[in-house]
């Protein structure tokens, strides 16, 4: 058996070089990931390849930044307070889940 992490050959269960368990299947790269993948539960995200998780993290951060920037713009604009407050609440409802999903991906 060959270690899929470091390439050491002639192994049985555990790689003597890196200590990887060779009975556990290593996650494969997906053809593509989309922002909706971030909604998957933790046990499904744990099966994602590290690179795919980094791409998801980038997508979540981008959406979170958009929501934050819009909240800042609305703070400066006071033309119609009721509409602005409704929009600000909507953006806050977007920003907080993106922050939580970002932390979930980052901590994995």
**Tens-place pLDDT, residues 80-101:** 677 777 777 888 888 888 888 8
Give 56's pLDDT tier (boundaries 50, 70, 90): very high
Say if residues 49 and 29 touch (Cβ distance below 8 Å): yes
**Mean pLDDT for the stretch of residues 3-17:** 77
pTM of the model as a whole: 0.66
CA separation for the pair 96, 84 (Å, rounded): 18
The closest of 85, 90, 64, 63 to 74, measured between CA atoms, is 85
CB 60 within 8 A of CB 99: no
């Amino acid at each position: 058996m060959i270690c899929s992490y470091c390439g050491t050959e002639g192994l049985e269960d555990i790689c003597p070089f890196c200590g990887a368990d060779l009975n556990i299947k290593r996650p494969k790269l997906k053809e593509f990931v989309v922002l909706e993948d971030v909604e998957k539960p933790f046990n499904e995200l744990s099966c994602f390849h590290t690179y795919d998780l980094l791409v998801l993290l980038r997508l979540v951060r981008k959406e979170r930044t958009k929501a934050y920037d819009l909240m800042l713009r609305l703070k400066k604009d006071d033309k119609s307070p009721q509409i602005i407050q409704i929009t600000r609440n909507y953006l806050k409802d977007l920003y907080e889940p993106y922050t939580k999903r970002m932390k979930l991906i980052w901590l994995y």
